Amino acid sequence: MMKTIIKLSILLFTLFATSCSNYPANVSISGTTQDITEGTKVTLTDYFGGQQVAETVVDANGFFDLQYAVPKIGIYSLTIGDSRPFDIVLEDKDLIVEGFGKDKDFQFLIVSGSEENELMNRSRIIFDLCNLKGTREKKALEGQEIKKVENENNLFVFALALPSLLEDMDGSYCTMWILDRAKANPEVFANTSQMLSEATEKVQDNFPDDSVVVEMSKDFIIEEL
């Protein structure tokens, strides 16, 4: 079976910094696909609520384009046909995503923050933590499911994206985790340490090689908060 290759470019503009949980934004998501039938539906849904926010179809050239407005920064799922969703965090930077078909779906989550500098700094730290692991063989993580821990009101989201393989500037692959909406809701972080510890235990049980990244990340986040 031929691999399905999906390339997406996500661009946010007119982003108003009102609050981390209430960012009105006009968004354009366009992509070029290979081996996807003309007319295949492309949908975007809210990650937590499951509500569909946009829909389009792939044209004869394998191209699709979603134009829409979202009420807030958050996590959304992009689905092309019957593929597993791509998990997308909407924030004020360009992203490029590559997917490798149904059996090798590339899924990921990236930090979003209340200020651009904070966002960039957090992203840089996470990339550095990932790079400490060095190059990973993609096949070692294929077929695994994303593990996530979240509190009851979804204000705090800790996610360990496995096997979400992120290709960095040097071309190496790593696993990564995200902390979303940091500092925007301070009351949420009373149990941060406990939640991160529980997430680490899950990783140690299922992916022992990845637990060191979570531990280092946990120390950094607790210190920051």
Q: Specify the pLDDT at position 60.
A: 85
Q: Specify the pLDDT at position 47.
A: 61
- At residue 117's C-alpha, the angle toward residues 114 and 122, to 5°, is 80
Segment 43-70 shows an average pLDDT of 76
Between the ranges 18-27, 28-37, 104-113, 209-218, where is the mean pLDDT highest?
28-37
Segment 124-152 shows an average pLDDT of 31
Neighbour-count burial for 196-212, b at 16+ CB within 10 Å, e otherwise: beebbebbeeebeebbe
Q: Specify the pLDDT at position 65.
A: 76
Lowest-pLDDT range, 51-60, 73-82, 192-201? Answer: 192-201
Lowest-pLDDT range, 124-133, 183-192, 207-216? Answer: 124-133
Q: In this model, does residue 66 exceed pLDDT 50?
A: yes
User: From residue 34, how far is each of 2, 31, 155 by CA, in Å?
Assistant: 10, 10, 37
Q: Specify the pLDDT at position 13.
A: 26
Q: Specify the pLDDT at position 31.
A: 65
Segment 9-32 shows an average pLDDT of 41
Q: Which band of pLDDT confidence, cut at 50, 70 and 90, is reported for residue 198?
A: low
Query: Could you state, in order of their start, the residue ranges of all structural domains in the chain?
Result: 5-103, 116-224
Q: In this model, does residue 160 exceed pLDDT 60?
A: no
pLDDT over 90 for what percent of the chain? 0
Name the CA dihedral angle for 119, 124, 125, 130, rounded to a multiple of 10 degrees: 130
- Higher-pLDDT residue of 36 and 58 is 58
What's the predicted TM-score (pTM) here? 0.38
Q: In this model, does residue 220 exceed pLDDT 80?
A: no
Q: Specify the pLDDT at position 9.
A: 37
Architecture of domain 5-103: Sandwich (2.60)
User: Average pLDDT, whole number, for the chain?
Assistant: 46
Q: Checking DSSP bridges between strand 25-33 and strand 157-167, what pairing results, if any?
A: unpaired
